[in-house]
A and B are shown apart, each in its own frame.
Chain A
């Protein structure tokens, strides 16, 4: 199964997770601070009530110096618990079960958290000296009053929770909004990608036109992709068109050859003929058929040579051959044609070289070049073949004394089925594939082939091949003169 990864989703999720994390941290901080603030306010209110309780301690207006709690004007919170004692431990007033603590020695209030009947309470313990009737002559009587006052903490927690909830809801709404805006924004931001994809999808083998959308061109991140697409498509189109051209030319070539064979046989069967006529006709038909066969063979050879070598081991080992031997063979093979035109073939080989081509293909290369030179040579002229070697390259040149080659044809002669001189066309016996095959052989071996005009006119074919120098046998030089 293939995993599908969405950049949009990833972006949105990343941003939302970051937002959520910061929101949680923020809410945490807010909660801590809120609790602190609320606790302070709580304590202040506890203390204020405790103080007012203190103020409610009045002279009992009796014989002794007893005091009493006058609760008038004192507001006590709901569920509050309190106890007011004097120095003798007498309870002046109370509500609920206030826990008792040791009387604190300092006058500053003490705060304590205690559970009372399962509820969390916070108490303040206030111990003060209360002067009752300070207006009296004796300056009043001091009473040490202890006040324990507490209210449930739940109220404060409620406040803290409320505040937290408010922030949580606000954050959630913000997150939702951000997600929606982000989704829209990211999608919009990615629209050049979709445009590019749509444009690329439109391309087909019949319509190679690829127009990089302007937006994709303007997007820095997309530019390399768009450029790569454009370049790849252009390359593909070129090779596709070459293939198409080759197929169409090959079809044309084959159809013509088939038409010849067919017409030869049909002509023969148009009426009854003599045995002599039949045997003559059959011989001609066989020639025609051989031509068709050779054309097919050359096309197949070219197709085989143009298939890239498998470098990953399975393609087998690269075969080597001696270029000198091959040149000798090629000269022998083309002997008859040279003889017919009374052309002298001069071979100057100063050293031998091993080239990474199997001997069959190498012979094809050399004989094709040589045949081409012979074909374009005037009668009784000379064709000169040289082989020179460098450290790691072998250089084969074939020079004829023909009419040379025009600048325009220099590249095109290597195109399949291209015939430099149209008036020669098929009559010269060339298939139009010879030099294409040569080029394929050279390029397959990592070498190159060029055609130019020699210093004294005539075409000069130069082949460069990667080679290993063979240091053996004495220098070989031969001149074959045929009459």
Chain B
């Protein structure tokens, strides 16, 4: 999952970025309103964390322009401003959540994850597809009750796929949502990770959970296989 943080206070941004990356998220940082707005409008983020008092372009305007472009990325507002009125206005303008400074880093993480889940139509942190179970809080994966040992990237690929069961996810999409701009990435990296992941998920006597559709991408099968 990929998060965009738009925050002008460098030290605070450093801390948030570090924390989100430690939690297994890909993070990009926009230092002011203009840059942030430009990044957000690429439509490649699973959630946007937006500060209100921004140089260049205010948070309200970034949000307004994002919604005008018909982008439905969940937006979490960070602000040090007082007053319920502004909260109401922001929510009405299309914000999805709100956290006031100084906030708890753990709470910010939890809210970001909840927003990602909700946007993808999932309500609990533990997602199950057939006999596969993924816990987004503990970042653990079980198949048929057995814990699987996945690398961070493999986990992230599986997490992304399990949020979109039965949908075809292209390599490009995976690249966009799993890596931030700070990462050196190539599409064959994905291929390697996918093949490792498929191997680890494999159970004797069942069809592979992850299908490869040539030139189109990958798909997580929801039905069938486990029933055999």
Name A's B-contacting residues (CB within 8 A).
248, 251-253, 255-256, 258-264, 266-267, 270-271, 284, 288, 422-427
Contacts and interface: CB of A to CB of B under 8 A. Distances in A.
Q: Which 5 A-B pairs have the closest CB atoms?
A: A422-B55, A259-B102, A255-B80, A266-B105, A263-B15
B89 to A, nearest CB: 16
Contacts of A248: 81-82
Given A248-B82, A255-B80, A267 B15 contact: yes
Contacts of A264: 11, 15
Interface residues of B, number: 24
B53 interface: yes
B102 A267 contact: no
Contact of A263 (B8, B19, B56, B80): B19
B10 A263 contact: no
B8 A262 contact: no
Interface in B92-118: 100-106
Contact of B56 (A251, A260, A422): A422
Contact of B106 (A252, A260, A266, A424): A266
Q: Which of A259, A260, A264, A266 has the most CB of B within 10 A?
A: A259
Contacts of B82: 248, 251
Contact of A425 (B16, B55, B80, B104): B55
Given A263-B16, A267-B18, A252 B32 contact: no
A423 B101 contact: no
B47 to A, nearest CB: 18
B33 to A, nearest CB: 9
29 contacts: A248-B82, A253-B80, A255-B80, A255-B101, A256-B12, A256-B80, A256-B101, A258-B101, A259-B102, A259-B103, A260-B11, A260-B12, A262-B103, A262-B105, A263-B12, A263-B16, A263-B19, A263-B102, A266-B15, A266-B104, A267-B19, A267-B105, A270-B105, A284-B11, A288-B11, A422-B56, A423-B32, A423-B56, A424-B55
Contacts of A288: 11
Interface in B19-59: 19, 22, 32, 53, 55-56
Nearest to B78: A259
Nearest to A263: B15
A422 B56 CA distance: 7
B8 A426 contact: yes
Given A266-B106, A270-B105, A259 B80 contact: yes
A418 to B, nearest CB: 13
Contacts of A253: 80
